[in-house]
Amino acid sequence: MDAVRQLSLVLIVGLLAATPSSGRAGRSASDRGGSSVTALFAQSASEVLHREFPDDHISYLLLDAQTGAVIASRWENPGTPIPLGSLVKPFIALAYGEQHAFRYPAHICQGTATGCWLPRGHGTVDLASAIAYSCNSYFRALTGNMTTSEVFSVANRFGLQTPDPGTSGAALSGLGDHWRISPLNMARAYLELVRRRDQPGSRAILGGMAESALRGTGSEVDRALPYPNALVKTGTAACTHSRRAPGDGFTIAMVPAGQPQILLMVRIHGTVGAQAARTAGQMLRRIQD
């Protein structure tokens, strides 16, 4: 059975790989006039997600990783900037790296005492493990002396909105709502990160995302898949729904890890990033079955 499911993913990857890469990012597969094979996959994926995940607390964007085109979605105003929590961490890490010759410190996370979401702490962490476990303590330390001006270069290069003027310190790591980015821009920024995987800083970040899928905050994605093969980043941010909740959970998952062909971004109203990862894994599994 696992061999059959593996073949299903290979077929999906093959379908998306057949998409012409010359189309302008942002148009749907049908708008681009892409191959009928890709159009069939987009239609099938859209129907499965709509049918199997009808809860209006779930928002999602499914993108062709080769072109950045949206192939299935249910997300009201995905071009409107909102707080995205820890999804910004890879990009603030790159901004820090530019200022420090891409030398990243080790850090001892002591949990509540050093401002982490995990009360007992993560212990000694480096950049990759801080990404994998979304360690707030590490990123508080990393951004302690940073200002908005140090983010401009990375934000512009990856197509992200910049933080509010005067934003500094921990707010640059996704804490609070001072850095608002549109979900669609964020999804495409992760695709750009993969394309730049051989540039300084990117390899450690993507390694952390692979570790997140295996054993970190995004591990529910790999658990749902027939075999572990994803890159995942999770986040929790202030709720922006009209029906307010304490927060919303976000997950970005890309498969397969070695050469992503699809990206799924999920938001779950009123929960945390790890729970969004569970739903993202279930979604990916269903469109593979």
Q: Residue 19 is part of a domain; what is its CATH number?
A: 3.40.710.10
Cβ atoms 213, 252 nearer than 8 A? no
**pLDDT given at position 21:** 34
Q: What is the pTM of this model?
A: 0.87
- The distance of Cα 121 from the centroid of its chain, to the nearest Å, equals 23
Number of other CB atoms surrounding residue 240 within 10 Å: 17
**Averaged over 155-176, what is the pLDDT?**
94
253 pLDDT more than 50: yes
Over residues 74-116, the pLDDT tens digits come to 999 999 999 999 999 999 999 999 999 999 999 999 999 999 9
20 pLDDT more than 90: no
**pLDDT given at position 226:** 87
**Averaged over 24-42, what is the pLDDT?**
49
Cβ atoms 92, 139 nearer than 8 A? yes
258 pLDDT more than 80: yes
What is the DSSP code string of 121-167? --EEE-HHHHHHTT-HHHHHHHTTT-BGGGTHHHHHHTTPPPPPTT-
pLDDT category, 42, cuts 50, 70, 90? confident
Most confident of 31-35, 209-213, 240-244, 268-272: 209-213
Q: Where are the beta strands (DSSP E) in the chain?
A: 58-64, 70-74, 82-83, 107-109, 123-125, 180-181, 231-237, 248-255, 262-269
* Distance between CA atoms of residues 265 and 229, nearest Å: 16
**pLDDT given at position 242:** 67
281 pLDDT more than 70: yes
The residues that bridge with 265 in the sheet, in sequence order, are: 61, 252
**pLDDT given at position 41:** 80
**Averaged over 123-136, what is the pLDDT?**
97
pLDDT category, 13, cuts 50, 70, 90? very low
128 pLDDT more than 50: yes
Domain that holds residue 53: 2-288
**Percent of the chain clearing pLDDT 90 (strictly above):** 78
Total domains in the chain come to 1
* Distance between CA atoms of residues 91 and 228, nearest Å: 25
Cβ atoms 238, 247 nearer than 8 A? yes
**Averaged over 5-11, what is the pLDDT?**
41
Over residues 216-226, the pLDDT tens digits come to 999 999 999 98
Q: Which two tokens stand for residue 121?
A: 């702490």
12 pLDDT more than 90: no
37 pLDDT more than 50: no
Number of other CB atoms surrounding residue 195 within 10 Å: 13
**Averaged over 275-288, what is the pLDDT?**
94
8 pLDDT more than 50: no
Over residues 175-213, the pLDDT tens digits come to 989 999 999 999 999 999 999 999 999 999 999 999 999
